[in-house]
């Protein structure tokens, strides 16, 4: 099984960092067998995208948003830099960015927390900027 071997290769390449992952999002393509899932199953929850077009549409929308809001504005000069940029975007997306479906609260934000609209706006460094 080629895909199962690729999963093993990823785990070997990640080394100790592999323990930091707790889920893998994958589509329902037939090339992902039970063996593939078993290779990654140790402490990793396998999340399959919804069947049919809906799952692909959601992932395409996320990829488009990631490019538009982040990657189109940064010149990436290596894998390490890309990982830093993506980690910072993840923090922004989950901790700060307002989400309409949550009444303008970030996913990990405290509900009911009020923001002082008269306070000075302060810029903070992100990704070495």
pLDDT, tens only, 45-101 = 888 887 878 777 888 888 898 999 889 988 988 888 888 898 888 887 777 777 666
Which residues lie closer than 8 Å to 100 by C-beta, 6 or more apart?
A: none
**Contacts of range 38-42, beta carbons closer than 8 Å, 24 or more positions apart:** 38/4, 39/4, 39/7, 39/8, 39/11, 40/7, 40/11
For the chain, which residues make up each domain, given as ranges?
1-48, 65-110
Q: Convert the pLDDT of each residue in 4-42 to its tens digit.
A: 888 888 878 877 777 777 777 777 777 777 777 777 777
**Model pTM?**
0.51
């Amino acid at each position: 099984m080629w895909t199962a071997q690729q999963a093993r290769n990823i785990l070997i390449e990640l080394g100790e960092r592999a323990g930091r992952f707790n889920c893998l999002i994958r589509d329902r393509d037939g090339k992902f067998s039970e063996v593939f899932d078993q290779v990654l199953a140790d402490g990793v929850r396998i999340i399959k995208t919804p069947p049919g077009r809906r799952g692909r549409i959601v992932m395409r929308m996320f990829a488009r948003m990631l490019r538009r809001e982040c990657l189109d504005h940064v010149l990436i000069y290596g894998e390490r830099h890309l990982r830093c940029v993506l980690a910072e975007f993840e923090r922004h997306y989950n901790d700060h960015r307002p989400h309409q479906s949550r009444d303008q609260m970030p996913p990990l934000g405290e509900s009911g927390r009020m923001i002082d609209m008269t306070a000075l706006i302060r810029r903070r460094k992100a990704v070495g900027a």
